[in-house]
Amino acid sequence: MNFTSDNAYGAAPEMLEALGAANSGAVASYGEDQLTAQLESTLADVFEHEVVVFPVITGTAANALALSTLVPSHGAIFCHRDAHIATDECGAPELFTQGATLATLEGESGKITPEAIEEAVSHFAIGSVHHSQPAAVSITQASEMGTCYRPDELHAIASVAQRHGMKLHMDGARLANALAFLGCRPAETTWKIGVDALSLGMTKNGALGAEAVVFFRREDVRDFEFRRKRFGHLISKMRFVAAQLLCGIENDRWLAYGRTANALARGLARRLGGISGVEIAYPVEANLVFASMPESLAQKLRLAGATFYDWGPSRNGRRLVRFVTSFAMPQHDIERLCAACT
C-alpha cells in the first residue's frame, strides 16, 4: 500500500509499447526527429493554439528552465508558499535564473488569490535597482494540496499579472488530474486565461519519465533552446521522450489516467472522512488526500503496511498526513487502508 507519491508507480503498458514502436531505424537526434515534430502539432491540436514544445525529463527542469526564460535575474516570482518551486526544488529556480527572488504567498488550500498577489506586489519598489522587480506569477494546477483553480480564478490571477507586466507560468505536473476534475478543455486552463509557459507533466500520469515545457507564443521562447542544452537537459534520443508524451496525449490517455487516480482519491477521502477522529483537510479534487488524524491511527496504518508522508509536525497528538493515489494503484489498496483504520 504505497501512498507516498504518484511517481512511486510505474508506467502505463501503452507507454512501453510506444517506446517499442519508436525504436526502429536511425533518426535525427536531439529533437530533430519526426516524433518530436509530431508532438508539437499534436499539442497544437490539444491546446487549439500554436505551441512551441520542448520535452525534458524532470518537472524541476521544466519549471526552472521555463521560469529562467520568462524572468530576468533581477525578477521576482510570486507563488504559493507551498509551491513545488518554493519548497521541493532545493533552490533550482534561484539557480537557473542566476538569483531571481521567490516571493511566497499564503493562500487557502494551496491556491493563491489575486488579492494576495496584488498585496505582495505593492511592497516592491518598481524601477528601483535595489529591489527585485515583479516579473512572473507561478501557479500549480492541480495545486500541491490537490485542489484545482477554476477558470474564473485563473482569469482573475492572470489579470493581476498582466496589470503589472508579469508573465504567467503554470506548473502542470498534475495538469491531467486537474483537467479530469474540471472537465474543461486544455485551452481553458492555459493560454485562454493568459498562461505564457506551461510545465506539462506526464510522468505522474503514465510515462516513465517525460515532461514538456510548452510556450504559447514563439517570442517567449527567447534563448530557451540554448538554456536547455546548457543545463544538460537536451536529450540525444529525444524520440523516446516524445513517444511517451504522444502516447499519453493520444486517445486522451493522460486524462483517463488522471480520472482514475482522482476517483481513487475521492473514494479514499469519502471512506477516511467517515472514520471518527479523521478530518479531510482540503477539498479532494485531484489525486491527493490530506487527512488529519491521531498519531496513533497513522502509526496503526503504517504497521498495517501503508506508506505515506507526514505533512508538518505533530500537534496535540494529531498529525496531518498525505495520501497520493495513482492510476496504477490497485483499487483494493484503498480498501485495505480503510479496513486497517478500524
Residues 156-215 that bind a copy of itself (CB under 8 A): 203, 208-209
The CB-of-208 to a copy of itself minimum distance in angstroms stands at: 5
Are 241 and 57 contacting, i.e. CB atoms less than 8 angstroms apart? yes
When binding is defined by CB under 8 A, the residue of 25, 219, 303, 342 that contacts a copy of itself is 25
- Candidate ranges 82-90, 250-258, 279-287, 334-342; the one touching a copy of itself (CB under 8 A): 82-90
**CA nearest to 103, candidates 149, 135, 68, 128:** 135
Binding mask 83-112 for a copy of itself (x = CB under 8 A): ----xxxxxx-xxx-xxxxx----------
Residues between 286 and 315 with contacts to a copy of itself, criterion CB under 8 A: 312-313
Residues between 236 and 255 with contacts to a copy of itself, criterion CB under 8 A: 236-237, 239-241
231 is a contact residue toward a copy of itself (CB under 8 A): yes
Which lies closer to a copy of itself via its Cβ, residue 24 or residue 276? Answer: 24
CA distance 70 to 223: 10
When binding is defined by CB under 8 A, the residue of 51, 65, 137, 160 that contacts a copy of itself is 65
- Candidate ranges 67-75, 147-155, 190-198, 253-261; the one touching a copy of itself (CB under 8 A): 67-75
Cα distances (angstroms) measured from residue 199 to each of 72, 100, 171, 214, 274 = 18, 19, 5, 6, 36
Which lies closer to a copy of itself via its Cβ, residue 275 or residue 338? Answer: 338
277 is a contact residue toward a copy of itself (CB under 8 A): no
Size of the site for a copy of itself (CB under 8 A): 79
Q: Residue 339: exposed, middle, or buried by beta-carbon count in 10 A (0-12, 13-18, 19+)?
A: exposed
Which lies closer to a copy of itself via its Cβ, residue 236 or residue 342? Answer: 236
Which lies closer to a copy of itself via its Cβ, residue 9 or residue 216? Answer: 9
